[in-house]
A and B are shown apart, each in its own frame.
Chain A
Amino acid sequence: MPGEFLYNAWTKTPGANVYTMMTNGTPENVHRQIVDLLPRLRRFARNLTRNPHDADDVVQIAVERALAHLSQWRSDSPLDRWMYKIVKNAWFDEFRSRKRRDEVFLPEDAGDSATDQDPGDALSIRAAVARLPEEQRLAVSLVLVEGLSYQEAADVLEVPVGTLTSRLARARQALQAALRA
């Protein structure tokens, strides 16, 4: 009976998720988790590269690398930190050398922001963050924007937590000075 055939065809692996069936043991749903992370990875990459086109290129390379090296991801550790690190390394390895440094990305339409924050405030903060030295900018991006703990951010950047903390402190002083001016 046709109905039975279909049912059996779909339940040959009882309880198995389609992803698991098709990716030879890839941690279940990891592709979907990566898709869900894309907005945050893009945001991090923009703060990293200060250019939206580079940011998307870097995210694309990072996702390709991540999928090619999924076995290196320990599924008990959060996927997002692992992905942030891959994004950072992709930028350092492949892009930074051939980069136009001077383009600083500023949003064209900050006025559409869903928050009730004054758009001018958002613009001046983004501009101030973009002008920070790279290592400070990354500390701000990971801790203040992405919400990682100091230790998590230090792990992503592969520096001691004390180094991360002092970069973050200097970054905040610079931002406060810039925003006060």
Chain B
Amino acid sequence: MTISDEMLMAFADGELDAAAAAAVEAALHADPRLAARVAEHQALRARVQAAFSEELEEPVPRRLIDTATRAVAATVDAPKILPIDAAHMRRERSRWRVPIPLAMAASLAFGLTIGFLAWHSPVPLLGENAQGALVADGGLARALSDQLAGPGGAGGVDIGLSFLSKSGGYCRTFQIAKALAPAGLACRSGKDWRIDVLTQSSTGPGAQTGYRMAGSSLPPAVLTAVQSRIVDQPLDRAGEIAARRRAWRAPAR
């Protein structure tokens, strides 16, 4: 049986069925030139593969991630986000068509959030600062200040993306690996981590988390919030370390 170069190539790629592979193997034993040719095919394959490996490390442009998530983000509705800021509150209020005083609505939202996390967490993860804003507390505050992006440590908090927001400060997404796995976005405000968005995780507890660049495991509501705030790209590891060294103080503009 004559062995064509195409067959040697298919053999090198593992594409031959058992009978053809056996025939090629027998021929290789008989003719070292054929064996050398197979080795050439395999070496070329490895070199080509390696030559194109660096693309996978590049950050994906945000517009592509936007496109891939847009259909979801467009349908994110208010009830799935816990509205924290006043603008969200006003929209909520008009939706309900009930004139709830803003302060009352705000405190209700705080109550919901704090009650929820207090209920599901052995230690409080949220609190109010002196101005009455919802801020990270306990293990969540520690994780936001100390952890680099990636699956979390013993505290059960995963940090997703860290980035510089349009308002000039640092923000980080987080996910709490417990119960309904709430996830959210916290932004540095003075010495506090102000909670800007809090929502249910899309993945649930135990699912893949901490995908650094693409933020793909983030719930759409959080992703949308990130997209509306982010300047440039998320911080890489070195950027996170530098920001942490400055205690997440906003860089001079």
Contact = CB atoms under 8 A, between A and B. Distances in A.
Size category of the binding interface on chain B: 35 or more
Instruction: Identify whether the interface residues of A are mostly helix, strand, loop, or mixed.
Output: helix
Interface residues of A, number: 62
Interface in A6-27: 6-7, 9-11, 17-19, 22-23, 26
B63 A60 contact: yes
B67 to A, nearest CB: 5
A42 interface: yes
Interface in A89-143: 107, 110, 112-115, 117, 121-123, 125-126, 129, 140, 143
Given A18-B200, A150-B10, A23 B71 contact: yes
Nearest to A26: B71
B30 to A, nearest CB: 22
A40 to B, nearest CB: 7
A11 B44 CA distance: 54
6 contacts: A1-B115, A38-B64, A38-B214, A147-B49, A165-B15, A169-B6
Interface of A: 1-3, 5-7, 9-11, 17-19, 22-23, 26, 31-32, 34-36, 38-40, 42-43, 46-47, 56, 59-60, 63-64, 67, 107, 110, 112-115, 117, 121-123, 125-126, 129, 140, 143-145, 147, 149-150, 165-166, 168-169, 172-173, 175-176, 179
Interface of B: 5-6, 9-10, 13, 15, 40-41, 44-45, 47-58, 60-61, 63-65, 67-72, 75-77, 79-80, 82, 108, 111-113, 115-116, 119, 180, 200-204, 211, 214, 216-217, 219-220
